[in-house]
Amino acid sequence: MQFPSFHDRQYLAADSVLPTDRLIKAFVLWMIPSWITPNHITLFRMLATPFTVLFLYDKHYAFGIPLFVFVAFTDAVDGALARTRNMITPWGMMFDPLADKFLIIPCLIVLMFSQVNPVLAVAIIALECIIIFLAFLWRKAGHHIQANVWGKIKMFLQVMGVVILLLAARLDSSLLSSIAAGILVGSIAFSIMSILDHGV
């Protein structure tokens, strides 16, 4: 299988523009110049992830939590940018969901030793790895795999769960830890729905 090129400007038609895309367009996208593409933002997320994980690993939550929220928000931004400006590329379709997983999985690994039940963390990580493997097989078979609504909800719940876990660690709150665990359990259900719907 030939991997798509980052510099490929073969734009694909968007399936649909989401209501959240219109909100992000109104409040955020107008600030992004036309020379910045969704792929640039995805690449930024990949490069920023190691620094985010390092801050969280060292428990520098004052920097780590806002940085995690910002980096995670770029997932919504690059998707909205791609759909509203018709800038969806094969590279973005492959690496945008991978960038999400490269952000979430290390953060869960860091937190599983202190805040989250290891069984829950392993279940989420295993499902994400299964999605990566299945997406590779589907692409190798010639199918275009795009993020579906289940995958978007899953990502939102995972980000919310991790943020609440980080706040629980910062505030030493068992109540917040329990709330975060419940949200992450919910994300597992949407991960399974995403797999069944052949999405990422």
Structure confidence at residue 160 (pLDDT): 96
Q: What is the pLDDT of residues 155-172, one digit of tens each?
A: 999 999 999 999 998 898
Structure confidence at residue 23 (pLDDT): 94
- Minimal CA–CA distance to 129: which of 200, 78, 77? 200
Structure confidence at residue 39 (pLDDT): 95
Structure confidence at residue 77 (pLDDT): 96
Q: CB burial class (10 A; 0-12, 13-18, 19+) of residue 72?
A: buried
Q: What is the largest CA-CA distance in the chain?
A: 49
CA-to-CA distance for 8 and 139, rounded, in angstroms? 17
In three-state secondary structure terms, 167 is: helix
CA-to-CA distance for 108 and 185, rounded, in angstroms? 13
DSSP 44-55: HHHHHHHHHHHH
Name the packing angle between helices 149-171 and 61-84 (round to 10°). Answer: 170
Structure confidence at residue 65 (pLDDT): 95
- pLDDT tens track, the chain, 200 positions: 566 777 666 676 566 787 888 999 999 999 999 999 999 999 999 999 999 999 999 999 999 999 999 999 999 999 999 999 989 888 888 899 899 999 999 998 888 767 778 888 889 999 989 888 888 888 777 766 666 788 889 999 999 999 999 999 889 898 999 999 999 999 999 999 888 876 55
Total-model pTM: 0.88
CA-to-CA distance for 91 and 179, rounded, in angstroms? 36
Structure confidence at residue 99 (pLDDT): 93
What Å distances lie between residue 7 and 136, 188, 191, CA to CA?
21, 34, 30
